[in-house]
Amino acid sequence: MEYKYHVQHSAVNIARSMFPVPNDYPVKSGLPEDYPKHFSHFHELMKNIHFDMTKQPEAYGLKLVDLESQDIIYSNEIGQQSS
């Protein structure tokens, strides 16, 4: 995929860094028994949202700084967040 905005790189990096929740992940006592199932569903939802942000960042109200932008300060902030 060809990216137009810095935020697309950040979104795809976040999505790729999300590993699936293991089935045997220890759960704090006191949480509902079905908590792992719901947490896993939430995790997949967040991952899908970040992949979607990569595809259509305009739909999310994100600051769209073009990859060719000369805005050094903002570009550096984005680069530091996605590293």
User: What per-residue confidence (pLDDT) applies to 76?
Assistant: 54
Q: DSSP per residue over 10-73, as a string?
A: HHHHHHHH-PPPPTT----TTS-TTHHHHHHHHHHHHHHHHHHHHH-GGGGT----BTT---HH
User: What per-residue confidence (pLDDT) applies to 24?
Assistant: 80
- Which pLDDT tens digits describe the chain residue by residue (83 residues)? 789 998 998 999 999 999 887 878 788 899 998 888 888 899 999 999 999 999 999 999 888 888 888 765 555 555 555 44
Give the start-to-end residue ranges of the domains of the chain: 6-81
User: What per-residue confidence (pLDDT) applies to 74?
Assistant: 57
